[in-house]
Amino acid sequence: TVVSLGGELVDSVYECTHLVTDKVRRTVKFLCGLSRGILIVNSQWLESSRQAHRFLDATSYIVKDNSAEQQYGFQLSESREKALNGGVLQGYKIHVTSKVAPGPQQMKDIIKCAAGEVDYLQMKVVVELEKENHQSLQQAVSLNEEKDEFCCQS
């Protein structure tokens, strides 16, 4: 449907303008799309656009998922607005560890889409600390423990 209407399917989260889904999902694509402020719409938008033989205004088809918003404590519309006004992580350096879920590369994509910055220097320090102490990264990166404070300073 997308191609027949003159659109393009892309693999990169950095190139898409719309994300089609039925509900809020904790996937890399969804989090990146939300972080970039793109329109996240339901599949009815594609169906209605196909019937009209052109892409319709997508704002009437924005995904609504009250249960997920309540579960995760956010509002989709408010999060999109924040993303459009500079990014929710703008001005933040994020330390990504080797065992983060999703993986470091996917987390980097989410951070970049949210206008944050990945702090690679600190990432190396944390990974080295993990290797030396054979501790889980959750223990190694704790602001509450004085011995780990150096890992978390900017």
Instruction: Indicate whether 33 pLDDT > 90.
Output: yes
Return the C-alpha torsion angle 133, 139, 141, 145, nearest 10.
Answer: -100
Q: In terms of Cα–Cα distance, which of 57, 64, 75 is closest to 18?
A: 57
Compute the Cα dihedral for 42, 45, 46, 47 and give only its sign.
positive
pLDDT tens digit sequence for 101-110: 888 889 889 9
Q: What is the pTM of this model?
A: 0.74
Q: Which residue has the tokens 């052109």?
A: 54
pLDDT tens digit sequence for 79-136: 999 999 988 888 888 877 777 788 888 988 998 999 988 876 555 555 555 555 544 4
d(CA 56, CA 24): 22
Domains and CATH numbers, the chain: 1-85 (3.40.50.10190), 86-154 (no CATH)
